Structure 1
């Protein structure tokens, strides 16, 4: 099995309105580092798992709508605790 990973990050604002989270119930910022791993049982004829540039482009496009956003006001997260694990 062969694999390769790419990484990007986003910065967001949010709150976690539940007493479980103590001070994080209030508005605060967070940086999320996102790693994506790609796996193949064999390499391509170019000896790669995936084009790393293309993988980075897809990851960036996927994360861009959340970067520098306040998750508390985005409709897709209404009523959701936007914890690291959830995101």
Structure 2
């Protein structure tokens, strides 16, 4: 369905809404759909520090699915770490 068709469908039920307002609502619904389905993936990079295990992530990062360092995948930690360094 095109955006024009979606706007026409919404206008059938809400004829007083302007096209711009409908587009805002449609974009919010699209963002919510993408967040719930985890359909969009994004790559984030940042600098690391020697002997530091934990890092504060940006607020918009919802889930970490994979970590690479120098083109090598870092395996997930299973169990508890031997050393805790939570001074983030």
Q: TM-score, normalised by structure 2?
A: 0.26
Q: Higher RCO, 1 or 2 (CA under 8 Å, sep at least 6)? A: 1
Q: TM-score, normalised by structure 1?
A: 0.27
Q: Give 1 or 2: higher strand fraction.
A: 1
